């Protein structure tokens, strides 16, 4: 049981290798290994919930020498969310890819992506973070390139070079830290880092690298084309998870290690960029002509919300109010993960059904797929931030934190962002209700539609009405917030 933290990485890794050799059964192997990893992630969450953070030194090396794995409230919850999304997308992908060549290429890469995601979330030191970030970026690029049309390849190449740039800048920061402090272990560093110039430069470099990866405005330019042209299950993972773990590393570094270096001014700057991202991303989503492009721009906006929390968390006094803001941030990230993956999976169903995803021509097709349209509406509810979604609670706390911190100017940003989100979501639904062919059966492609439905339900009902445990969880284990 205590080894769950290893299994969650080792099982997909093993699965990836086996699926290369035994490619005929690759989809079965992927489903089994992801479900096992999902079970392991549930065990990890339970362990952290009960006993607090879990540490594991691989091969029993002392920390600082070997690879140390670590799970706390933040990482274990994100891990669980990723594994749920990945498992759903895995079921979906089994029906999505029909071309045998693509299938054979897809599964090993997909499992490698899972390995990278899980290892990243569980990394306890900076070097491992760098390695897993790189591995994640490479498998993501390879998966994007699976849609072998020209646009997708161009987007993949761009994604690759930007991603490499981001991780190199990050690596430079890591190197500086090692030079200055002689260790890369996060726990050890948190006691050593002060507000001196070297740490500040290192912090700046690492932040810059991660901002590229997390596509914060104005560094978002690579995201829409990459996310919109990848195959649907890949887009789901990219938008819901890959971008989000970059934000995760940022948070980890800011609150865990560099809490003394992060000044209110720099937090305010990032918050402002987040606010611009909310409005700009939503506006672009409204202009988008294609469903997946719209979803990709919406990701830019949703990431922006996460950054608005930053100046608020810095400004709020330590205690329950700050914890609540932090949990709300986490809740918004989780909800977006579920909602956006559900959205992309549904967009994929529509694209396969009618061979395109042009919003203006959705009239008949959206009607022919009632369940998929419903899923799009549900995840749309979560993207807008209407009840009963988790985003609604997130926005509630975002607004209340703004008032509490005396930074009321974020409130109009949230209001405008919500209005724009309403507009882009209901633009699609408006077409769905518009004239077109008659309604099809409720369920057309069960293996693709049901996973998407489950994800959308997580985003709306479960996180919106049943997430009380989450607040409790974070409040109990918020010591990492306090340094």
Residues that bind another protein (CB under 8 A): 320, 324, 327, 370, 381, 384, 386-388, 392-393, 395-397, 399-400, 403-404, 411, 415, 418-419, 422-423, 426, 429-430, 433-436, 438-439, 442, 464-465, 467-468, 471, 475
Q: Which residue has the tokens 């700050």?
A: 322
Q: How far is the CB of 479 from another protein (least distance, A)?
A: 18
Asked if residue 459 lies in contact with residue 378, where contact means CB atoms within 8 angstroms, the answer is yes
Reference 159, options 169, 170, 146, 145; nearest CA is 145
Name the token pair of 1: 């049981």
Asked if residue 387 lies in contact with residue 459, where contact means CB atoms within 8 angstroms, the answer is no
Q: Of 126 and 386, which has the nearer Cβ to another protein?
A: 386
Rounded CA separation 76/454 (Å): 21
Q: How far is the CB of 337 from another protein (least distance, A)?
A: 18
DSSP states of 334-353: HHHHHHHHHHHHHHHHHHHH
Count how many residues are written for the chain: 483
Q: Respond yes or no on whether the N-terminal peptide bond of residue 55 is cis (omega within 30° of 0).
A: no
Q: Of 214 and 478, which has the nearer Cβ to another protein?
A: 478
Q: How far is the CB of 421 from another protein (least distance, A)?
A: 10
Angle subtended at Cα 238 by Cα 337 and Cα 119, rounded to the nearest 5 degrees = 85
Q: Of 143 and 420, which has the nearer Cβ to another protein?
A: 420
Runs of H (alpha helix) within 60-149: 73-96, 100-122, 126-144
DSSP-derived 3-state class of residue 57:
strand
Q: Of 179 and 439, which has the nearer Cβ to another protein?
A: 439
Q: Of 204 and 363, which has the nearer Cβ to another protein?
A: 363
Q: Of 227 and 395, which has the nearer Cβ to another protein?
A: 395
Q: How far is the CB of 431 from another protein (least distance, A)?
A: 8
Name the token pair of 19: 């699926």
Q: Of 201 and 416, which has the nearer Cβ to another protein?
A: 416
Rounded CA separation 157/291 (Å): 22
Q: Of 429 and 450, which has the nearer Cβ to another protein?
A: 429
Helix (H) or strand (E) holding 422: helix 410-433
Residue 25: partners with Cβ closer than 8 Å, 6 or more residues away: 19
Q: Of 213 and 395, which has the nearer Cβ to another protein?
A: 395
Name the token pair of 203: 């912090």
Rounded CA separation 225/154 (Å): 9
* C-alpha distances in Å from residue 441, one per residue of 42, 431, 456: 35, 19, 20
Rounded CA separation 348/352 (Å): 6
Rounded CA separation 265/271 (Å): 10
Q: Of 207 and 418, which has the nearer Cβ to another protein?
A: 418
Q: Of 180 and 436, which has the nearer Cβ to another protein?
A: 436
* C-alpha distances in Å from residue 387, one per residue of 213, 267, 311, 423: 30, 29, 25, 17
Q: How far is the CB of 294 from another protein (least distance, A)?
A: 17
Name the token pair of 123: 């990394």
């Amino acid at each position: 049981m205590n080894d769950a933290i290893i299994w969650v990485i080792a099982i997909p890794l093993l699965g990836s290798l086996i699926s290369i050799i035994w490619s005929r059964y690759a989809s079965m192997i992927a489903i089994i290994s992801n479900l096992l990893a999902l079970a392991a992630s549930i065990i990890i969450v339970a362990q952290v919930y009960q006993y607090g953070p879990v540490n594991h030194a691989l091969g029993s090396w002392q920390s600082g020498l070997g690879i140390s794995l670590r799970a706390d409230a933040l990482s274990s919850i994100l891990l669980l969310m990723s594994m749920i999304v990945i498992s759903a997308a895995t079921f979906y992908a089994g029906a999505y890819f029909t071309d045998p060549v693509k299938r054979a290429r897809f599964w090993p890469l997909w499992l490698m992506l899972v390995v990278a995601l899980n290892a990243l979330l569980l990394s306890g030191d900076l070097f491992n973070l760098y390695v897993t970030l790189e591995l994640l970026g490479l498998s993501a690029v390879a998966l994007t390139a699976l849609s072998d049309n020209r646009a997708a390849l161009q987007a993949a190449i761009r994604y690759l070079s930007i991603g490499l740039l981001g991780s190199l800048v990050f690596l430079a920061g890591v190197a500086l830290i090692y030079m200055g402090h002689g260790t890369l272990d996060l726990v050890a560093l948190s006691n050593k880092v002060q507000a001196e110039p070297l740490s500040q430069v290192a912090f700046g470099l690492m932040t810059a690298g991660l901002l590229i990866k997390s596509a914060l405005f104005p560094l978002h330019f690579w995201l829409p084309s990459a996310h919109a042209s990848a195959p649907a299950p890949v887009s789901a993972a990219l938008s819901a998870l890959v971008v989000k773990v970059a934000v995760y590393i940022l948070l980890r570094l800011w609150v865990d290690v560099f809490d003394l270096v992060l000044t209110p001014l720099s937090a305010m700057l990032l918050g402002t960029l987040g606010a611009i991202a909310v409005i700009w991303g939503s506006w672009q989503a409204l202009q988008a002509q294609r469903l997946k492009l719209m979803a990709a721009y919406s990701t830019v906006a949703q990431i922006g919300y996460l950054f608005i929390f930053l100046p608020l968390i810095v400004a709020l006094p330590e205690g329950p109010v700050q914890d609540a803001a932090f949990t709300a941030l986490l809740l918004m990230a989780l909800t977006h993960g579920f909602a956006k993956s559900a959205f992309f999976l549904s967009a994929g169903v529509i694209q396969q059904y009618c061979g395109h995803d042009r919003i203006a021509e959705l009239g008949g097709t959206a009607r022919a797929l009632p369940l998929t349209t419903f899923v799009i509406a549900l995840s749309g509810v979560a993207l807008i931030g209407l009840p009963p979604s988790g985003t609604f609670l997130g926005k509630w706390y975002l607004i209340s934190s703004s008032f509490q911190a005396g930074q009321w100017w974020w409130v109009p940003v949230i209001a405008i962002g919500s209005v724009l989100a309403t507009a882009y979501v209901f633009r699609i639904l408006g077409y769905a209700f518009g004239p077109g062919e008659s309604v099809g059966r409720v369920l057309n492609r069960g293996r693709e539609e049901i996973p998407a439905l489950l994800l959308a339900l997580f985003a709306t009902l479960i996180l919106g009405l049943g997430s009380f445990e989450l607040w409790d969880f974070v409040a109990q284990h918020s010591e990492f917030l306090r340094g």
